[in-house]
Structure 1
């Protein structure tokens, strides 16, 4: 693992696939011009709309999203994470799928979101992700990269389940992605503290690309795409108002220093 720059992209995706991919490409270009070698896109980067529209267009969204990720990786010679898009199943539902792609356009890792957001919020909004999404059944993978470190995958609501991240750390994760479309209501209180908690308790870097702003009707996301270091320090924050990019250095020496000073992973009793 070497020192390198990573980017967490912040988008305002809408119910328009082509428009979203144009926005994503512009932000990827910005991240690369700022020196990023590892670029991550948020959950629902390619489509953020009503559930019925997502299902109706799922096949096209899945095909174009995967092709887009591979094209961007090759064009910009980066490793890229597509943080979540629908991949259709035979039963009329989809997997919320994250893909990690290398600079040659080769798939390195695939994760199907396991924790689905079925919540009634006090602001009056109700979310039933399970109405259209099948929960994944496999533990998130770790991809071991000599250049970028051991990369772990997760998606959005997963961040509330610390046992998932403990598993990733036990498997050797050094950098963990948390691509999200966190609601504005929950995000203002929980987003930052949850990311910092996952970084601190697993002494790892957290890269959290995010959705921001109003997408359609009542759907409004919190924003604040960020990168957090193993001590819980926020290295970069894209803010909460508009699309942008959070870029920060992933430093193996910093990782080693924190794990040496606070060797909590070695002190686990209940494993």
Structure 2
């Protein structure tokens, strides 16, 4: 059985990619005290401005960002998950049309190489009773293929998802079928919806799938209308809250993923074996 030291970075990203990158590097350096094997960054980590997504995706700053992350990963022998970054090209190399982008989770290995990519499939086109009032991600983002993504790190199977995916439990069943021990949810959950549902959804996904769930969220006010919920958190396969940050401040959250503990939970209550529908 295996263990994995995981650190989540919570921050308040803005529209200036260089400022966001500088903040991330400071927080990741602070996180090294936990000897992380995996560092998680939230959704929209290097740009919190939908209108600039395509220009960033096509511009030279994206290469500078990816180079900085690769160098850090290689230097400190840690994997880094960029929670989401706008990509102008699909995984097959074709160009995304209509000026939109893919919202892509990018996993960089301890050798500084891009080893996994997941493109967000569920887009947040909703009305919310907050200052923004309406969200329409599909204006700027093209959904990815309906293909769940997992990657093995030191014997621990990591499942990838992004933000709004959290509301679709069948997606996480697919990740379980691929062997995921821990699923990460890099997010920019609104403060309003976060207060209502963030913890409930993450805890429910952990209990029903008997897996670790780690939600790494943006926090605070990003502009005059957009506020996110923070509360980056980790839940165990038994639904226990292992660690949690507050709703406003930048910070570092550490937890250990233990596949032996997960197996104990699954053995004592073999829910997957008891399923009788859609099995």
Bucket of the pairwise TM-score, normalised by the shorter protein: over 0.9
Once the two structures are superposed, what CA deviation does each residue of 1:219-264 show, in whole Å capped at 9, x if it has no partner?
1100011111101111111211200011011112211111112211
Q: Gapped runs of 5+ residues in structure 1?
A: none
Once the two structures are superposed, what CA deviation does each residue of 1:180-235 show, in whole Å capped at 9, x if it has no partner?
00000100010011001111111111122110001112011000111111011111
TM-score normalised by length of structure 1: 0.95
Q: Name which of 159, 164, 169 aligns with 2:166.
A: 159
- 1:187 is aligned to 194
TM-score normalised by length of structure 2: 0.92
Return the offset for 1:7: 0.9
Once the two structures are superposed, what CA deviation does each residue of 1:150-197 show, in whole Å capped at 9, x if it has no partner?
111000000000000000001111011100000001000100110011
**How far apart are the structure 1 equivalents of 2:231 and 2:82?**
18
Query: For the Cα contact (< 8 Å) 1:58–1:87, is it kept in 2?
Result: yes
Q: Per the alignment, in what secondary structure is the counterpart of residue 259 of structure 1? A: helix
Q: How many residues align?
A: 269
Return the offset for 1:144: 2.4
Query: For the Cα contact (< 8 Å) 2:191–2:229, is it kept in 1?
Result: yes
- 1:118 is aligned to 125
**How far apart are the structure 1 equivalents of 2:182 and 2:212?**
5
- 2:58 is aligned to 59
Which stretch shifts more, 2-11 or 214-223?
Answer: 2-11
**How far apart are the structure 1 equivalents of 2:74 and 2:36?**
14
Q: Gapped runs of 5+ residues in structure 2?
A: 89-94
**How far apart are the structure 1 equivalents of 2:121 and 2:258?**
30
Query: For the Cα contact (< 8 Å) 1:8–1:227, is it kept in 2?
Result: no
**How far apart are the structure 1 equivalents of 2:51 and 2:76?**
34
- 1:131 is aligned to 139
Query: For the Cα contact (< 8 Å) 2:96–2:102, is it kept in 1?
Result: no
Which stretch shifts more, 53-62 or 131-140?
Answer: 53-62
